[in-house]
Amino acid sequence: MFESRLEMCLWALRGDQVAGTRPWTDKTPIGQWLDELAAERQHVPADCLHVLRYAMNAGKDLADYRHAIVHGWMFATGDMPTFIRNPGLFGEKRHRPTHDAHVSENLLDMAVDSAWTLCQVVSLAKAGCDDPTTWPELAAIGSKVRRAMSQAGELRHLTELMNHEKY
């Protein structure tokens, strides 16, 4: 759901007319979409651009978390499964880095909450492109987006956090 909304939001932010054409988003990975979300634009107010940048960071962490679950190897670790993408179990070298995703009810709740916040961001950003008087609504959820960025970062880096003595 987020990726579909993100795509339409990007078309609006860039002013793309996609009817009858193959959009640039059709052949680019989600990471490039997220970079484009945070790109400087004259018609986007500065406070909204900050929110879009927080959303980009959260989106990248959530995408890594998702990719680890969908494409990773599953291992049983304690009381929760862990998925590791590109684990290098046989000494092979991979183009993409290794990363992991721990899965529990609480962690999945965090992922869903973060994804829902990102859906709100892209919906409000698209609305701002259609009606500039609605940009303040996007700026108003800045603290919510920062929290989503923090949660997504925790999901993405949980192994590192779990191994840290203060966690």
Span 23-50, average pLDDT:
95
Kindly report, residue by residue over 109-159, the tens digit of the pLDDT. Answer: 999 999 999 999 999 999 999 999 999 999 999 999 999 999 999 998 886
What does the pLDDT look like over 47-66, one tens digit per residue? 999 999 999 999 999 999 99
In angstroms, the CA 119 to CA 133 distance is 20
Domain span holding position 126: 2-88+96-163
pTM value is 0.87
Q: How many domains does the chain have?
A: 1
- C-alpha Rg value of the chain to the nearest Å: 17
Alpha-helical segments (H) within 1-130: 2-14, 30-37, 46-71, 105-130
